[in-house]
Amino acid sequence: MDWLNNIRSHQRTPSGSRDFKEATKRDALARLEVELERLLSSLPEPKRPGVEKEFKGFKNLFSRFLAEQGPSVTWEKIQKLPEGAVIDYSTLSTPTTDNIHHMLDKLVVVKLNGGLGTSMGCKGPKSVIQVRNELTFLDLTVQQIEHLNKTYKCNVPLVLMNSFNTDEDTQKVIRKYKGLKLDIHTFNQSCHPRINRESLLPVPKNVDVQNDIEAWYPPGHGDFYESFNNSGLLQKFIKEGRTYCFISNIDNLGATVDLNILSLLLNPDQKSAEFVMEVTDKTRADVKGGTLIQYEDKLRLLEIAQVPKEHIDDFKSVSQFKFFNTNNLWAKLDAIQRVVEQGSLNMEIIVNNKSLADGLNVIQLETAVGAAMKCFEGGIGVNVPRSRFLPVKKTSDLLLVMSNLYSLSHGSLVMSPQRMFPSTPLVKLGDNHFAKVKEFLNRFATIPDLIELDHLTVSGDVTFGRGVSLKGTVIIIANHGDRIDIPSGALLENKIVSGNLRILDH
């Protein structure tokens, strides 16, 4: 679809073709509106208002998508981060115990729980994958907050933002937490129709989402603000006198409630920050992560998708952009209400190209929750230790969090004091044999000792016996058709293992 790509480039087009494009864009919006009306009219009256609200948000996204001209930042306009824009975590003071109870009464914890575990070969919500000691992401989160509530005699609520993909399964799971000292609330993020890439029309034929699940998608976690407001929970918490929410991904095991950051936000001597983004130092593994920039005199998130092609290398440079966004965010509740009601949330649109099972090319329009930073007043970054960023996206991450690198304390993972340096090892496991959780677990009789590991690469048909120790840099490569069984009790230190090694029981 060439004209779509051209909208996003900076080509000067002859005025005739520009007029044509403007007309096709106007036409696309008008046709989309007709289709959305048709979808709405297929619904029974009582269900219409809710869906109408979601469609209004979708129409807004779609018209902004049509209007966008190329990358949303002009590279030359990026300013140097001003003094004090990013506060170093080590300079924060720790609140006194008698104060913590009152501080926590002002807090709501939000976990983004819209994702499925499909990329790791699991059915259902990602949050119910077992991470450690047969506990899931959700179990660990619930344990952490229950522990806070018991320790400080407070009642911090947990809010889960589900999607239509995860809601039903999540509701079943949270019943088991009924007896705990913890209030759990859920709401759903919007459900938007996927768009046919050629015709720019919605794919679904009716609003029966469950029967045509491929035709719909949740529009990224940037949808949090509108959906939270629409759910009524935002108003409820403001009425209760709560002032901030802490938002993070359910699969980031480092994203625990941090009392030092909360104390910074609630400090009466400081000008109130409406939005805080936790950033951490970039390493070579994080060069694609979003970063913080000063632009048009405001702090904002810059994602790789917004960068003009000729500046991608600059964006990846660790010296030019030292930090990346952990997606641990703190936002003031009344400020969320204000920006939603004003309609001033204009987050950059991420265009996600997909192909459906029947081969149809579709686009889905998404936004990122951190991109809202520029819509708030007095935003700041806090440069936090790497331990607050421990996402589990792949089985290589799972290997680390299941290993003896960490111990578990009230639902929080704590790095072993035996590890000499705070950085985690770099682990690469071959997709063909390790990508799916079940297969991954079958390849380890027990999780190896990784305390002194720097780097591990495993490729091909490799299995590990019991009590294996890996130290330094270890590379194990089984060529196609070969198999390597690492024997029980083996110690591999700075070793490359290749070829064929089979150990058979007799």
Query: Would you please indicate which residues are annotated as catalytic (active-site) residues?
Result: 393
275 Cβ contact list (under 8 Å, min separation 6): 329, 330, 331, 332, 335, 372, 373, 376, 378, 379, 380
Please report where in the chains the tokens 């090319």 appear, as a residue: 361
Output the six-digit token pair for 161: 């933002």
- Residue reference for tokens 């991608």: 312
Antiparallel, parallel or unpaired: β 275-281 and 379-383? parallel
Q: Count other C-beta atoms under 10 Å from residue 278's C-beta.
A: 26
Can you read off the two tokens belonging to residue 119? 């990329």
Instruction: Check the annotation: does 69 bind a ligand.
Output: no
- Map residue 326 onto helix, strand or coil: strand
Is 220 annotated to bind ligand?
A: yes
Task: Determine contact, residues 436/467, Cβ cutoff 8 Å.
Answer: no
Q: Any binding-site annotation on 393?
A: yes
d(CA 140, CA 415): 16
In angstroms, the CA 493 to CA 408 distance is: 27
CA gap 211, 192 in Å, rounded: 15
Rounded CA separation 103/493 (Å):
48
The CA-based angle 474-289-86, given to 5 degrees, is 115
Question: Does the annotation place 221 within a ligand binding site?
Answer: yes
Binding site: which residues? 126, 189, 220-221, 251, 393
Binding site for substrate: which residues? 221
Binding site for UTP: which residues? 126, 189, 220, 251, 393
